Structures are given as C-alpha cells and as structure tokens.
Chains A and B, each alone.
Chain A
C-alpha cells in the first residue's frame, strides 16, 4: 500500500514541520514584534531569496544559500543601524529589492531544469525535505536553550537597548547573535510558508498572544500554541481542499486573530470590571 505509506509520511512530516515551525516562529516572532523589527525581518526574508537563486545556479542547497544571504543581510542591517550610517528603513528597502532581483535573475540563468518559483514564493510542504524538518527541530532546541539561558538579557535589551548599553558593552554582540537566529528561523520556514507569507507566520501568533497577556514568557508560549493550532489546521484544510498550504496557514491565522480580537473587544466592552488584567491599552 504505497498510498498509505505516502500519506503517513505526509502527515508526520506535516505535523512535525508545523510543530517546529510554530516553536521557532513563536520565539523569533515574539522578539521581532515586541522590538518592532517586523519591517527589518521582511527585508531579511526577501534578501534571502537572492541566496535561493544563487543556490540553484551553483547547484548547492538553495536553503543553505538563503541562510548565508539571510544572516549576512541581517548583520548588515544591524551594523548600519547601530552605527547610524544610513537610514535603516532605506537600507532595508534596498536589500529587499536587491535580494528578490538577484534571486529571479539567477533562477532564470540556471540552465535546463527550472525550479518551481511559486513553491518558494508561497511555500509548499511537498518540497520540505527531511533535512529541513531536522534543521527546524535543531533550531527549536537552540531557541529553548538560548531563551532559557539569556531570558533576562533578551527581555532587558529588547525593552530598553540604550539603557542596557550603559550597563554592558556586550549589547551589540548580543543583538548580532539574536538577529542571526531570527534570520535562520525565517529562512528555514520559507519552505513551509514561502518568501511572501513567512513573515505572517512570525508576526500573527505574538499579536494574538498580546491580546491576552503582557508577560513576555507567556507571549512566547501562547504564540507557539496558537502558531501550532493555526499551522496544523491550515495544513489539514489545505490537504482536503486541495489549496496551497502556506496561504491556507496564513489565512487560518488571520481568522484566529480576528476572532481573538473580537473576544477581547467583547470582554472590554461587556466585562471590563471582571478582567482588569487584559489589554487595557486604548
């Protein structure tokens, strides 16, 4: 029964992929959303597409190419912004377009076999390899350790970087390392959700979580859980409806965000006295 083996493999791969994607995106997403680095992360994502193109052209693993591009552009943007050499948003805009252009040029230059561009732009679980799943799994473990060990440092430098700088000279190094982890997370999740949609995989779960809690560690946890719920159900829906998985996952997460927003608005208007701890921002 080849069909069932294929199906079994498909489901295990999908669920494991969804789990690791949610874990990595939960940590990385909480960091970028609370530090207001979403646009920067968008720049890293699109810049890494240049690495995918070059990877194809050179005959090496496109994800490895994307990882190199992603990390280098992340470090480049952080360096420029720390040293105030250029307006950060302009730098991001330039890298964003440069990466996309480079990727497209090299993919079209690649002789013979032309890879499916759509799968990289919008994601496809079919192209996810076992190696990708393992890499995402390792990344998940790294995040648990990194955030477990450096939780306070992450919290304090994210909250007030300039204050942290007055107390410690290691803030820049710390930022470089963390941003590199973010870049790797984005790149590894591109196969799942695609270049265009991956950012939502990082930003939607923390935004849902922050509707209910203002505690940093809880935001991470709730992000992982909502991320997994959205990713897994989006995956199942896409399978039965025969629609692209990346788009379905993002669609599911947006619906979840709308429902969560509706719930908090109802709680605020109807039971605000009973829920003093929920989102009290105007």
Chain B
C-alpha cells in the first residue's frame, strides 16, 4: 500500500513552548484516521505541519515523491460564522479549490466550471450554485467547503472539526459521503468528539504532545488514558464502538 506521507520524530514548538514531541506517523492510501486529543494537545499543530504551514522544529515530514504537489491534500478547515458573510457564491467557493492548479493570473476554464457543477450535484447542492454563502444553512456551507476540498482530486483529505457545522439532518449524509470519498482518498479527521466519529473511522491517532496510533476503530477510555490522551467521551444514542468510562 502506497504511503502518502511519513513523519519521523517530528517536534514542533511555538517560541519555547513545545507542542509536539517525537511524533512518528504515516498515512497510507485508503486510511481513515480520526485524530483525537484534548484541546491544546497539538491536533491543530499536527495539521499545520501536514499542510506545510508550520515547519517542524525537529524531525521531518516526507511526502510520497510519486505524488505531484497539486494532488496531495484537500483541506476542510474549521469555519466560523463570520466568514460566511463574505460576498461569494457556491460555484466560486468550490472553484477556489482549484487554485493550486492555476497560475496566479489564469482564469477558470469551462471544464473547471463543469467540474464544479458536478461536485455541487454530487454533494446535493444542485440549484444553489449561484447563491451567496450567506443564504445557505450551516450544513449546506459545510458541503460547499467539502466541495472546495475535493475538487482538485486530492489523495489526502484533511478535516478539521467537521462536526461543528454539520446540522443533524445532514450528519449521516455527511459521514456517508466521507465513506464514499474514502474509496478514492485517505482521510484524516480531527475531532474532539470521539463518539461521533468512532463509527466512521478505521483507526485513531491520539495526540497530546506525543502521538499514539491506535490501529482500530474500537478504543476504550483506559486505552486513551494509557496514551496520555484524556478526552471527553460524547455519545449520540446507539453509536457502535464507543466505550464509556465505567463508574466505580
């Protein structure tokens, strides 16, 4: 199985504050990994290193040399309600995911537009292509941003707390869509909500300064504690594979 990237003894720090230490981690094709851990534990820093926004203070990250730069990563960032008032429509947001393929001064071709239309249709956004973001619901905005992340056919999809903006009516759709996408790309999903993601991911990475990889979607609180990765478990009704801490 081809790897997408490998990290070797990666550390990261802001000024004198070490956030990640000696992280060995790799993502292969078809992986679907949930990245969990407490706030401030280094989840976001890990994402920044993968995205190339932050240089490790020690160690290295190496991408598979067979992958062209432009096909590496699709990114779905956390969004805040402030951003969505920007005057931009659905098609333009999805198209912006093609930016890396374009020289800075070139325009979008008819093919690009067609592709944006197909993505919109695939994500259930037909008929909304010309709507401004501010006219959409939270779940619809989430889908638009997912469209932006996948239009470039990335080999790795990075999702940062996607649960924050998903409305419950779209939640199962959203994860169903991710499962489908996982057939053609690896997915790395950061979430503080292990209950929500445990039924969807194939394995876990627990990040709290160190990174512990857990090669199964079943994880117990004892294991989390052993990893030094205490997080709050939240369940949503009948979610399989979620183990709550037992009461003494």
Contact = CB atoms under 8 A, between A and B. Distances in A.
Contacts of B180: none
Given A164-B99, A165-B53, A170-B104, A159 B85 contact: no
A281 B85 contact: yes
Given A153-B104, A156-B99, A214-B132, 18 more contacts: A149-B105, A152-B102, A153-B99, A156-B96, A158-B86, A160-B83, A163-B77, A163-B96, A166-B52, A166-B75, A167-B99, A167-B100, A170-B104, A214-B87, A214-B134, A216-B88, A280-B135, A281-B85
Contacts of A158: 86
B19 interface: no
11 contacts: A150-B104, A152-B99, A152-B107, A152-B108, A155-B88, A156-B99, A163-B77, A163-B96, A163-B148, A167-B99, A215-B87
A156 to B, nearest CB: 4
Contacts of A152: 95-96, 99, 102, 107-108
A4 interface: no
Contacts of B92: 155-156
Contact of B105 (A150, A165, A168, A216): A150
Contacts of A155: 88, 92, 96
A219 interface: yes
A213 B131 CA distance: 11
Interface band, chain A: 20 to 34
A153 B105 CA distance: 8
Main secondary structure of the interface of B (DSSP, over half): mixed
Interface string A141-159: 0000000011011011011
Contacts of B77: 160, 162-163
Given A149-B105, A150-B104, A159 B88 contact: yes
B86 A163 contact: no
Nearest to B99: A167
A150 B92 CA distance: 14
A184 to B, nearest CB: 21
B87 A163 contact: no
Interface of A: 34, 149-150, 152-153, 155-156, 158-160, 162-168, 170, 210, 213-216, 219, 280-281
A215 B130 CA distance: 9
B75 to A, nearest CB: 5
A110 B179 CA distance: 72
A196 B107 CA distance: 39
A219 B96 CA distance: 19
Contact of B100 (A150, A168, A214): A168
Nearest to A216: B87
Interface of B: 51-53, 73, 75, 77, 83, 85-89, 92-93, 95-96, 99-100, 102, 104-105, 107-108, 132, 134-135, 148
Nearest to A163: B77
Contact of B53 (A34, A150, A166): A166
A239 B51 CA distance: 58
A215 B100 CA distance: 23
A107 to B, nearest CB: 40
A146 to B, nearest CB: 11
Contacts of B53: 165-166
A34 B99 CA distance: 20
